[in-house]
Chain A
Amino acid sequence: DADVTQTPRNRITKTGKRIMLECSQTKGHDRMYWYRQDPGLGLRLIYYSFDVKDINKGEISDGYSVSRQAQAKFSLSLESAIPNQTALYFCASQGLATDTQYFGPGTRLTVL
């Protein structure tokens, strides 16, 4: 079984709709991250959380919000989706004792 899972894997929605992307990890990691990947731009950090009570903005947080419901769960919301939020979204987790982030399989989001 995958250690970091993301749901849904693919989503097509319309402009103005509210969308939630979910991430769960079974590695017992404290730190979780949301990244966005656009062609030719690499991955950019949206939000990150070092524990349940700690949420931090990344470099491109505008238009997004997050919720850390539990140590294992970290959700990303688009309150009112717009077409330039069409991208591949990755969740990652990292433990305090490890220096490596492990990524989920990604969610491909299309906003029409």
Chain B
Amino acid sequence: AQKVTQAQTEISVVEKEDVTLDCVYETRDTTYYLFWYKQPPSGELVFLIRRNSFDEQNEISGRYSWNFQKSTSSFNFTITASQVVDSAVYFCALRRTRGSTLGRLYFGRGTQLTVWP
């Protein structure tokens, strides 16, 4: 079975602090995709990143960076120099590449990030 765990329910930081959102996943598949989505207070879901299980290179996009470690089944998300606009719920998700549930996203329960000015 597939499972995604986001142990941090809520995180509060002050603007300009760095913050890391944790994501741990479980799967017996050897190939899979991992995702992060952002849900701002307006409610929509915004795609942030997709990572193939074959690619363990870390990725940086502006103030955002992602650390994928297969050895620990983790795909953590770091925001550097956080801003108030980063306040949102962040979801980590996993998608299989084979099997009867191909195409389905398995979501974690989300982490509510609040950035205070």
Contact = CB atoms under 8 A, between A and B. Distances in A.
A75 interface: no
Nearest to B45: A103
B98 interface: no
A98 B110 CA distance: 24
A40 B108 contact: no
A58 B104 contact: yes
Interface stretch (A18-26, A43-51, A60-68): A43-51
Nearest to B39: A37
Interface in A74-110: 88, 90, 92, 94, 99-106, 108
A92 B37 CA distance: 13
Interface residues of B, number: 19
Contacts of B91: 42-43
B114 to A, nearest CB: 15
A57 to B, nearest CB: 11
Interface of A: 31, 33, 35, 40-45, 48, 50, 58, 88, 90, 92, 94, 99-106, 108
Interface of B: 9, 33, 35, 37, 43-45, 47, 50, 52, 91, 95, 103-105, 107-110
Given A42-B91, A58-B104, 6 more contacts: A40-B109, A43-B45, A44-B107, A88-B43, A103-B44, A104-B44
**Closest 3 pairs between A and B when the two form their complex, measured CB to CB:** A103-B45, A42-B107, A42-B109
